[in-house]
Structure 1
Amino acid sequence: MTRFTRPASRRLTFAVLAAGAGFFAMLQSLISPVLPTIQHDLHTSQNTVTWVLTAYLLSASIFTPIFGRIGDLVGKERMLVVSLLAIAAGSLLAALAPNIGVLLLARVVQGVGGAVFPLSFGIIRDEFPADRMPSAVGAMSAIIAVGGGLGVVTAGPIVAALDYRWLFWIPLVVVAATAVAAYLLVPESPVRSTGRISWPGTVLLSGWLVALLLGVSKAPVWGWESGRVLGLLALGLAGLVAWVLVESRSANPLIDMRMMRHPGVWTTNLVALLYGAAMFAIYAFLPQFVQTPTSAGYGFGASITSAGLLMLPMLVTMFVAGLVSGRLEPRFSARAQLATGTALSTLSGASLVFAHDARWQIAAAAGLFGLGIGLAFSSMTNLVVRSVPSSQTGAATGMNANIRTIGGAIGAAVMSSIVTAHPQPNGLPREAAFTAGFAMLTVLSLAAMAAALLVPSGRRTVRDLRRAGTEQPAQTDEPVPAAVVGPALPAPANG
């Protein structure tokens, strides 16, 4: 098989990146609604089947920044193909899994493909000219965000019409074809960093991420005060401190700590942590709320498919907001979009606290939250991309995605603890518990909005880069992306 010698068109490149990133995002949420079906089919326990989600989360959190960094070193398009092949191999193994052990292994292999996110953003930065990059980043962010929600919507109909194993067969076919297209169509990286992988940093990063995420994700089951959870959280914190110290002293760090201390990076990462917690909380528990039987005194007794349809307004609004985000940036900065997105999510959470008795109220709140997600996702990625040298785009965006995942794990775990505390005699959650949970995600969104106001302006970002001596223009014949040197130029026709 031979590569095309001529550079592929940017539209084809973007289509390949969108297919890979979109389907990986779907795999994050596609399995959640059908865990009881998997538990019954594979004859396992409820506690064991939850590892189908946990194994995927842990694997993706480890490999996303590592493969992003390797992509910066050896070529983003090469690691993109490797990541897509990992998703395809994991999907094949999961579709054929005869027992829960094989399925868990398959989910670990699928999680390796998490690097498609940072690699895709890095390739966009390398290949797109200055006036198109914010729009491309915004569109990609919208596709990723919609992909995550689309899994909740499509899982029910697919399982009802076919079988839960088709939740793996369909991604296998699409992602395998995408891997071939990536090999043939995505140009080789014109921008690469130098050095080598810091293996001590890699081991420490993997260790503290596993300890932290495992402790947080299992806290609702094991109990926040259990020795296992407290031990894992303490181990994660100690590993984090050790990792920062090792990376700060390394000549070839996996993640450059100077980059992480940059005002444009750490403030955006703080927003990602808080906003990820709110977003994953509403993803996980708004469908659960509407599926609650009416005998509980609230809820609508909706099926998985009906609950997914109530999430459609969120998917539509987040996609539209993500698409227009980059085009708005010349007049509505990424910083302003981030603050606006978090404000809209705050309003959505507050509306759920006081009004959740009718389906239209749920749909309206979901649509409003979707607007917030679309603006926030696009602007976060654009802010990170513009704050780091082009040779560190993969590592920086990978770490931002990881921090958002950490926030999501925390938000989902805390929401689960709130909702399941003090159930009714019939075992169903109380309405007051959901109300308290919606109040929590409102507070999280409000805190994210406050953090968004700390993000520096575009001019200050460039000034800080120059002072730190880390500003590096892309080594390519294309114009230097506007996100590297300042505010975006008007788009003719983020994240």
Structure 2
Amino acid sequence: MPPAIPVAADPPRPRFFVGVLAFCGVVVAVMQTLVVPLLPHVPALTGSTPAAASWLVTVTLLTGAVFTPVLGRAGDMYGKRRLLLVSLGVLTAGSVMCAVSSHIGVLIAGRALQGAALAVIPLGISIMRDELPPAKVLSSVALMSSTLGIGAAVGLPVAALVVEHFDWHTMFWASAALGVLDIALVLWCVPKAPLRSRGRFDAVGALGLSAGLVAVLLAITQGADWGWTSPRTLTLLGAAAVIWPLWGAYELRTRSPLVDLRVSARPAVLLTNVAALLIGFAFYANSLVTAQMVQEPKATGYGLGASIVVSGLCLLPGGLAMVALSPVSAKISATYGPKAAVLANVTFEAGGRTAPTLHAYLLVFLIAAGAALSALVATLFLPGRTTPAPGTVGADRAEGATGRTTAEESA
């Protein structure tokens, strides 16, 4: 990993610093679920097809997966606050595009920009690690990490209220206003990053990563509609099978890789990322399917016949629990190590699901539970704590010595 270059840093405003970054994370996370209550109405509102409407969600998954590591690495090299502001600017621009148009193509493009802003969360975490004293890092990072779930839980009921009582463009104007507010707050109290990495930006690695992710995610998200054995699906999966080995070979040989695969292959990093992926899968599967299930008519025998507002409110306790338990998680990590905190999380997640009678819902919940149990297994194989205890002097610097970058933290 190239050595870092110190640059001048402005002092943070400690009373507001963490809160502002967490608020930015919540706003970005809200964007990910903002259109879910609107989806059933999009074809009529825009004169499009249901398949085209589904792209309002699919495109945020694609751009979020592609731009999070790219903007994270760029933040290491060109300044994390600068790239944080760029990400918030992209979110605001995407929100304005959606607010001023009812054309499905423009809406999809705007949603693509909103998804790209997901890099705000790992950038915020990396800034916290640079700026905060060691004793405050764990609790602050725990809060920032929880914003993804908080925003998703809050976004659904708020968006549902807007859809029911206002013009649907209103929620995009509101998100644009929140983006502008975020930019102003970051300029006010978030300092410039004190460290930057040397080296050139790995453009070839970024293109290869983008192509590989798009091929895989597009095949997965559209495979059910296209057919899993259709030429388009098989072509994308075949392209991914070719791109990933070539990209990996290039990243291992270049001097300034976008993703340091040698660091990523270490058991502590690899198993942590696998566990995080499975935990996220289980969380979103439970959240989105629960919201849909409670809206099903009572005549089905399992649905509650609830409105979209009520279905969104059913997810709100999860967001509130994340706020309340993030300091508890930090305390467990500081006392027993992060492995203990992850173990506790995935154990509770695997045990908390309903069993509706409809086979499709039951299957999804069981798959989500299986993902959580798989995360539990991955966590059990994580190595124990070998560095200074989290929250103590030297802990974060020891962790930083592994060469982990913002791009790798966002994996």
The answer, yes or no, to whether TM exceeds 0.5 is yes
SS in 2 for 1:331: helix
How many residues align structurally?
390
Match of 2:384 in 1: 457
Runs of 4+ more than 4 Å apart: none
Q: 2:113 aligns with which of 91, 102, 109?
A: 109
Residues 19 and 175, structure 1, Cα contact 8 Å, conserved in 2: no
Match of 2:405 in 1: none
Q: Is residue 271 from structure 1 mapped to residue 198 from structure 2 by the alignment?
A: no
Match of 1:295 in 2: 299
Match of 1:438 in 2: 365
Residues 16 and 182, structure 1, Cα contact 8 Å, conserved in 2: yes
Report the CA distance between 1:481 and its aligned residue.
5.5
d(CA) in 2 for partners of 1:189, 1:231: 42
d(CA) in 2 for partners of 1:306, 1:344: 24
Per-residue Cα deviation, 1:62-117 (whole angstroms, up to 9, x for no partner): 11111100100111011111111111111111111131111111112222212111
Report the CA distance between 1:480 and its aligned residue.
5.9
Report the CA distance between 1:324 and its aligned residue.
2.2
Residue 166 of structure 2 aligns with an amino acid whose one-letter code is L
Residues 25 and 144, structure 1, Cα contact 8 Å, conserved in 2: yes
Per-residue Cα deviation, 1:210-261 (whole angstroms, up to 9, x for no partner): 0011111112222223232222122223222211111001111001112111
Matches within 5 A, 1:341-380: 341-349=345-353, 352-353=354-355, 356=356
Q: 1:247 aligns with which of 251, 268, 276?
A: 251
Matches within 5 A, 1:460-471: none
Residue 439 of structure 1 aligns with an amino acid whose one-letter code is L
Q: 2:169 aligns with which of 150, 161, 165?
A: 165
Match of 1:131 in 2: 135
Match of 1:85 in 2: 89
d(CA) in 1 for partners of 2:15, 2:61: 31
* Structure 1: unaligned runs, 5 residues or longer: 357-429, 463-478, 487-494
Per-residue Cα deviation, 1:318-346 (whole angstroms, up to 9, x for no partner): 22112321133222321011011111111
d(CA) in 1 for partners of 2:62, 2:11: 36
Q: 1:225 aligns with which of 226, 229, 236?
A: 229
Q: Alpha carbons of 1:484 and 1:458: their partners in 2 closer, same or farther (altered >3 Å)?
A: farther
SS in 2 for 1:131: helix
Q: Alpha carbons of 1:298 and 1:6: their partners in 2 closer, same or farther (altered >3 Å)?
A: closer
Residues 45 and 102, structure 2, Cα contact 8 Å, conserved in 1: no
SS in 1 for 2:11: coil
Residue 186 of structure 1 aligns with an amino acid whose one-letter code is V
* Structure 2: unaligned runs, 5 residues or longer: 1-8, 400-409
Q: Alpha carbons of 1:481 and 1:21: their partners in 2 closer, same or farther (altered >3 Å)?
A: farther
Q: 1:67 aligns with which of 66, 71, 76?
A: 71
Report the CA distance between 1:347 and its aligned residue.
0.4
Q: Is residue 205 from structure 1 mapped to residue 209 from structure 2 by the alignment?
A: yes
Match of 1:146 in 2: 150
Report the CA distance between 1:23 and its aligned residue.
0.6
Report the CA distance between 1:484 and its aligned residue.
4.0
d(CA) in 2 for partners of 1:435, 1:98: 36
d(CA) in 2 for partners of 1:178, 1:450: 38
Match of 1:18 in 2: 22
d(CA) in 1 for partners of 2:364, 2:55: 24
Report the CA distance between 1:57 and its aligned residue.
1.5
Residue 18 of structure 1 aligns with an amino acid whose one-letter code is A
d(CA) in 2 for partners of 1:109, 1:143: 19
Q: 2:330 aligns with which of 323, 326, 329?
A: 326
Q: Is residue 95 from structure 1 mapped to residue 22 from structure 2 by the alignment?
A: no
SS in 2 for 1:11: coil
Report the CA distance between 1:284 and its aligned residue.
1.6
* TM-score (norm. length: structure 2): 0.90
Q: Is residue 188 from structure 1 mapped to residue 115 from structure 2 by the alignment?
A: no
Residues 131 and 482, structure 1, Cα contact 8 Å, conserved in 2: no
Match of 1:482 in 2: 395
Report the CA distance between 1:15 and its aligned residue.
2.4
* TM-score (norm. length: structure 1): 0.75
d(CA) in 1 for partners of 2:367, 2:152: 22
Same amino acid, percent of matched pairs:
33
